[in-house]
Structure 1
Amino acid sequence: MDLGINRQALVPVVQQIVSAIAAWIRESGVSPGTRLPSIRQLAHDNLLSQSSVIEALERMVAEGVLASRAGSGFVIAAQPTASSSLAECQWYEGAERRWGAFTDNQLGELKLGCGWLPDSWREADDISYAIREISRTDTAGVFNYSTPLGLPVLREQLHKRLAQIQVASSAERILTTHGASHAQDLLIRTLLKAGDTVVVETPGYGNLYRQLAFHGVRLLEVPRTRSGPDIQTLETLLVSHHPKCLFINSLYHNPTGTSLSRGVAERLLHLASTHDFLIVEEDVYGDLQHASCIRLAALAHDDRVIYVSSFSKTLSSALRVGYLTASTALISQVLKLKTLTGMGTSRFAEAMVASLLANGTYRKWVQRLRRRLSAEMAKTLQVLEDEEWEVFAVPAGGMFVWARPGPGGGSRLHARARQLGVLLSSGELFSPTGEHADWLRINVAYACDHRALALFKAMGPAGSTSTILKTTGM
């Protein structure tokens, strides 16, 4: 078995072994119980140390891909049962349809289109320290409910952060939630009823579409351009349908990576006043800002803008800490629903976030994260240009690029991605109607992995030429 080990690559040899064997399992379609070549043979054929091969195989045993049998070496493990598979599945925002919204990632597929940072980028020491501090100094934080609006010390920190980005608010007008999706759900149930009409951007966040549809809300689509929603289309929809709300992702838009221009932002606010609708502005990627950006909530809006954000994308999705700020009257309404349906949020998690904000740890972490993402964005855009992929827009920051292969590449894309062990987030997953699109959401934090680079190259001019030569037998 030729594992194709590249000793010049930045990827550790053990990880290359794991990826190569996983790819062989996917591509060959071998049955459970099939025996792998011996450790000695794998090491000899690929000029590897036996210790590296053993470490890789043991890692795959721990992941449930292989099984170790006395006297038989390592074999392909049986597929997990439905119940155990369900227990191990992880949420994957926008996975390719054949995996669905949840995936066990059993063969270590690269989540090229996911909406969060790699685990290797996380800085666990700061969170561990905060956990110890809260456990030692705040007994109430370990055992008690949070206050209805959210922990006061956290809301005060959030008020300070909002002031830094020119979003006018107060601690009394901030309500904490279990992340941004929870905030969106509370707003949908408070503001809307079945049969009501709202405007959403397309492409946009698929989970928002599903939340709205679940509550029987009718969705009107407005195309996302490089500078924000298409104003002309929006004006036509407003005149014809009189929607109650517009849901928008202003900064580092998911999935296109674009940001609002001032002209579009000012026009949106004028239309909201003229046609009497509310704007729900989600800003979960806003902390990645490293340049001058426009937020609707930072402009004069007469309480027509409801601002939603969270720490899931930057700090930790496991903490489930988000928040929204709105008019006092609306906060009062949402508060009743929040208390009725969940008895409040996690005091412990909120105390941790408040501590990280107050001592400056979060600010320093985000600064490092911005620099790292900026470097990865530049490298990703260069690779896509070299391989002649089409890019929708060059983002000013954030973690997403919206791109597609050159002409003729789309038909081969998904098959090649599966062969390489790459999970895609395809364009139809960001459409309210699931309309087919060749576009992909690419997370730049994963884009320089060797599997992603191989996919970009395979879909570029060189990959197309190679395919033609093989087909013609030349």
Structure 2
Amino acid sequence: MALAPVQRDRGATLAGSLANRLRTQILSGAMPDGSRLPSIRKAAAEFGVSKNTVVEAYDRLVLDHLIAAKAGSGFVITYRGDDSGRPRHVSEAVDIASLLSAQLSQNFEIRVGDGRPPASWTEHSEIKRYLSSNGRMLPPDADAYGSALGFLPLRQQIALRLQTQQVAIKEDNLLLTFGANHALDLVIRAMLSPGDTVLVDEPGYYPLFAKLTLAQVRIVGVRRMPDGPDVDDLVAKIQTERPKLFFTQSLGHNPTGGSITLPVAHAVLKVATHFNLVIVEDDPFADLPMSAANRLATLDQLNNVISIGTFSKTLSASLRSGFIAARGDRIATLAELKMLTTVNSSGHVERLLHRLLVDGHYDRHLKRLWQRTEAAATQVQADLLSGGHRIYSNTKAGYYVYLLLPKGVDDMALARAGAQEGIFIAPGSLFCLDKNSPLARAIRINVARASNPKFYEFLLRRLHM
């Protein structure tokens, strides 16, 4: 294999640039499974870098599970497809998303680990009645594709809502999507390439980890504290990893339930501005009456922040509708990609949502939902604390509480034990890149689904043995 001297990629270290070049060759199949990499000494000479640079680059590839050190053979390529013929990154993405598959199953009596509220909290608001009547009011062009940006009147309504949340925005700064996951996918496709590095909250949103893995992007975790990202860890990771994006969730964080405080939000934005790092803020609870002043999109006014919203967590997951709010140039790029991949989002669903918003039904529903969520969070936290359990954050925002497990209790074993008793549990290790992290030994609890006494009896039996 002929090797040319490595050139430093823009915004990357020399070791990162070397790792990116080798990663691309491995993932493309140019360096097949089982082949040997040059020795550290030989690689340093042929790439025109120091031996320390080669060591660091190889270490990165080891962490990505692309190569391994073999006694007597040096470093060997270990990237290959699984038995189904799928590339490894596809198989790994599917494995990461395994909890989502379990959530879609209905074979659990108690779904305390589910990411969504029960249908009775959402779909019974006004949706069914509007679905039955909406068809009689559709205009003649309702079946046309329409603009790739999405239904204009709905974008205008969303812009008005964001303006009340102190974000100066117009409809041209909005792109409608098939929910937040579609929005994340578009951002990843448009702004990242295989081998790029990104930062994420850790613990964090595991479906995002799966998407990034599928895109062959290198993922580095930033410690998530009860009051937001650990700013010192964020700075350290930016300096060593040279990431392209930082994905984070400010309010009602999934899975910890914590929310960013104003001082931390200011510090995060100051760091991102200094290092020219784009932040992608996932904001599924944007419409709930929480403090808009702490949101990164509000403080930044979408200069360096891309905001993602959805109706899935507040109205109905079945509607599959969300949006991206960003600078006009970024929205234009994302709209082109949306047109190429899905042509457009659902005009019928967007018209339905528009009617719910303009008629005031959505706001009345949100008021009921927030009252329910606050009451449930208060009760669940009280029940857990009275049972002698530890929670990571006592913030009452969003749907989640993160229960820290006692030393010696395995979260995956607890989830398997729960499944045997009809209880769906979300293990903390699935939300962590570092499976040895203390925060991996936990479970996510959905306050909207944690009222069954059988669940608390299960915890007492299993955690206080």
Is the shorter-chain TM-score for this pair beyond 0.5, marking a shared fold? yes
Mapped partners of 1:375, 1:278: distance in 2? 36
The offset of 1:219, in angstroms, is 1.1
Gaps of 5+ in 1: 1-92, 465-474
Conserved 8 A contact 1:199-1:219: yes
**Matching of residue 299 in structure 1 with residue 299 in structure 2:** yes
Q: Where does residue 272 of structure 2 map in the other structure?
A: 272
Distance 1:408 1:340, change over 3 A: closer
Structure 2 residue matching 1:101: 3-state secondary structure:
helix
The offset of 1:108, in angstroms, is 3.4
Q: Where does residue 420 of structure 1 map in the other structure?
A: 421
Structure 2 residue matching 1:176: 3-state secondary structure:
strand
Deviates more, 1:240-249 or 1:117-126: 117-126
Mapped partners of 2:367, 2:194: distance in 1? 43
Letter in 2 for 1:423: F
For residues 295-444 of structure 1, what are the structure 2 equivalents within 5 Å?
295-300=295-300, 303-407=303-407, 409-410=409-410, 413-414=414-415, 416-435=417-436, 437-444=440-447
Distance 1:245 1:414, change over 3 A: closer
Q: Where does residue 130 of structure 1 map in the other structure?
A: 130
**Alignment: residue pair count:** 369
For residues 211-250 of structure 1, what are the structure 2 equivalents within 5 Å?
211-250=211-250
Letter in 2 for 1:351: R
The offset of 1:109, in angstroms, is 3.3
The offset of 1:458, in angstroms, is 2.1
Q: Where does residue 448 of structure 2 map in the other structure?
A: 445
Q: Where does residue 34 of structure 2 map in the other structure?
A: none
Distance 1:192 1:368, change over 3 A: same
The offset of 1:457, in angstroms, is 2.8
Distance 1:293 1:103, change over 3 A: same
Distance 1:216 1:137, change over 3 A: same
Q: TM-score, normalised by structure 2?
A: 0.74
Mapped partners of 1:384, 1:96: distance in 2? 28
The offset of 1:460, in angstroms, is 5.2
Which structure has the bigger radius of gyration?
Answer: 1
Structure 1 residue matching 2:324: 3-state secondary structure:
strand
Mapped partners of 2:341, 2:399: distance in 1? 33
Q: Where does residue 458 of structure 1 map in the other structure?
A: 461
Conserved 8 A contact 1:94-1:425: no
Letter in 2 for 1:420: E
Question: Residues 47-78 of structure 1, C-alpha deviation per residue, up to 9 Å, x if partnerless?
Answer: xxxxxxxxxxxxxxxxxxxxxxxxxxxxxxxx
Conserved 8 A contact 1:290-1:370: no
Distance 1:459 1:432, change over 3 A: same
Conserved 8 A contact 1:95-1:101: no
Mapped partners of 1:434, 1:315: distance in 2? 33
Conserved 8 A contact 1:203-1:431: yes
Q: Where does residue 160 of structure 2 map in the other structure?
A: 160
For residues 17-28 of structure 1, what are the structure 2 equivalents within 5 Å?
none
Conserved 8 A contact 1:155-1:174: yes
Letter in 1 for 2:443: L
Letter in 2 for 1:432: L
Mapped partners of 2:462, 2:97: distance in 1? 18
Structure 2 residue matching 1:288: 3-state secondary structure:
coil
Conserved 8 A contact 1:269-1:296: yes
Distance 1:121 1:396, change over 3 A: closer
**Matching of residue 190 in structure 1 with residue 190 in structure 2:** yes
Mapped partners of 1:272, 1:318: distance in 2? 35
Structure 2 residue matching 1:233: 3-state secondary structure:
helix
Distance 1:241 1:96, change over 3 A: closer
Distance 1:416 1:378, change over 3 A: same
Distance 1:160 1:450, change over 3 A: same
Distance 1:301 1:147, change over 3 A: closer
Aligned residues with identical type, % of pairs: 32
Mapped partners of 1:290, 1:432: distance in 2? 29
Letter in 1 for 2:234: L
Conserved 8 A contact 2:415-2:426: no
Mapped partners of 1:358, 1:321: distance in 2? 17
Mapped partners of 1:160, 1:103: distance in 2? 34
The offset of 1:125, in angstroms, is 5.8
Q: TM-score, normalised by structure 1?
A: 0.73
Conserved 8 A contact 1:197-1:218: yes
Mapped partners of 1:106, 1:368: distance in 2? 26
Conserved 8 A contact 2:373-2:447: yes
Q: Where does residue 66 of structure 2 map in the other structure?
A: none
The Cα RMSD (Å) is 2.4
Mapped partners of 2:452, 2:97: distance in 1? 19
Conserved 8 A contact 2:96-2:207: no
Structure 2 residue matching 1:286: 3-state secondary structure:
coil
Mapped partners of 2:192, 2:97: distance in 1? 31
The offset of 1:104, in angstroms, is 6.8
Structure 1 residue matching 2:267: 3-state secondary structure:
helix
Question: Residues 249-272 of structure 1, C-alpha deviation per residue, up to 9 Å, x if partnerless?
Answer: 011100001111111111111111
The offset of 1:279, in angstroms, is 0.4
Structure 2 residue matching 1:207: 3-state secondary structure:
helix
Distance 1:106 1:375, change over 3 A: closer
For residues 103-122 of structure 1, what are the structure 2 equivalents within 5 Å?
105=105, 107-122=107-122
